[in-house]
A and B are shown apart, each in its own frame.
Chain A
């Protein structure tokens, strides 16, 4: 076990290897590792952000749904109320129309019965006159006693 020039050779070789490692080997490896670490950190941060955004969106959606539900029920309420109103109004209209038509019909009936009475009266008057004519024969001149006969017919 003697020390010899191997020592010097190994000394130089070691120095060169250290320098090479320091200059060319270590920096790119560490750079790649650090870059990936940064990438992973960014990715995790992005995932966190996305999760938070998703939660926000969920909350917003729930909020919107709740609002929509409230609004829908308000609309339904309003619609129901309106429907009731429309039905009520239609009912009123129908009642009014019915009343009006009845009134018109009643007026018509009145009118017709009046006319019928008039015609009847006239016919009775004529019948009376004809009867009287037959009874009186020539004593009564139809033309001369027209106003008298008319007055009689009216009285009937």
Chain B
């Protein structure tokens, strides 16, 4: 085993493009005929486990929370709860008993799923392959569009539910045809109805799509950059210890490796911000959308 083999990828092909495309493949399991009926077992499994762990932590704390002097962990949990409650209070004016725990769930879950990105890119696939013999495994569920779109679609359905609850079934449907362009003349109303309806459909659809795309895009792009940084390490290692290395190629390899270290550290530190920010944006936009759904135009 040569020193250069230390810098070969743990999983994936030998060429850089093979490595990247290998890391972007899901552990997919077809149900029946496949096609749409395929499940990304990795995304689903990781997100459910992470969700149970994260929300379970809050649940466990909630069970043993006391009104007395809190311990450090309880204080931390309460800090998170109060922070989210404060954010929701600023945006959503109404009964927060459902919206606040919804916001907590979204924030905690997305934050934890995003946080998996700070693990080395080869760790998830490597463990999956080494321990379970799985060829493909993607660790970060939020880099899967299915996951983000499912969450934003849930938010869309909640928007409908909130709107119907606030305005009644008839009021909600009527508003689809009478807002945002208002008219008093019945004839003008009829003329404006298709335009209003079209605009409302677009408005309602753009919200979940933008929610899902924003989170997915940020995470997916970040993941790609992490993969490229990993390639930089590997290339550096190959040049340093590869066969027929000259002094020049070794110097270049060292530079590439050091550059990879620097870029990896910087990108990881930057992603501490990104993962929190994306979780926060998803949460706060959900609350904003629900607040808009309850208000009449």
- Where the two chains meet, the residues of A that have a C-beta atom closer than 8 Å to any C-beta of B are 1-11, 13-15, 17-18, 20-22, 24-33, 35-36, 38-39
Contact = CB atoms under 8 A, between A and B. Distances in A.
Contact of A21 (B28, B63, B70, B105): B105
Given A18-B154, A39-B67, A3 B62 contact: no
A4 B149 contact: no
Nearest to B154: A14
22 contacts: A2-B38, A5-B37, A6-B147, A7-B153, A8-B150, A10-B43, A10-B151, A14-B105, A14-B150, A14-B154, A18-B105, A21-B102, A22-B97, A22-B102, A24-B59, A26-B100, A28-B65, A29-B77, A30-B81, A32-B62, A39-B67, A39-B68
Interface stretch (B47-55, B190-198, B244-252): B47-55
Q: Which 9 A-B pairs have the closest CB atoms?
A: A35-B67, A26-B101, A10-B150, A6-B146, A32-B65, A28-B62, A6-B40, A21-B105, A11-B150
Contacts of B104: 21, 25-26
B31 interface: yes
A4 B67 contact: no
A14 B58 contact: no
B175 interface: no
Given A5-B36, A35-B67, A10 B102 contact: no
A33 B82 contact: yes
Contacts of B101: 18, 21-22, 25-26
B78 interface: yes
> Could you tell me the dominant secondary structure of chain B's interface residues?
helix
A18 B62 CA distance: 16
Contacts of A17: 51, 55, 105, 109
Interface in B62-78: 62-63, 65-68, 70, 74, 77-78
Given A21-B102, A25-B104, A4 B81 contact: no
A13 B44 contact: yes
Contacts of A33: 78, 81-82
A22 B103 CA distance: 10
Nearest to A12: B150
Contact of A29 (B31, B35, B61, B68): B61
Contacts of A1: 145
B85 interface: yes
A39 B68 CA distance: 8
Contacts of B102: 18, 21-22
Contacts of A2: 38
Contacts of A21: 55, 58, 101-102, 104-105
Contacts of B63: 28
Given A9-B39, A18-B105, A39-B68, 4 more contacts: A3-B146, A10-B44, A13-B44, A32-B62
Given A25-B58, A39-B67, A6 B43 contact: yes
A33 B153 CA distance: 32
B144 A6 contact: yes
B98 interface: yes
A7 B78 contact: no
Contacts of B146: 3-4, 6-7, 10
Contacts of B105: 14, 17-18, 21, 25
B138 to A, nearest CB: 11
Contacts of B39: 4-6, 9
A61 B36 CA distance: 87
A11 B154 contact: yes
A30 B82 CA distance: 8
A5 B144 CA distance: 12
A18 B125 CA distance: 29
Contacts of B109: 14, 17
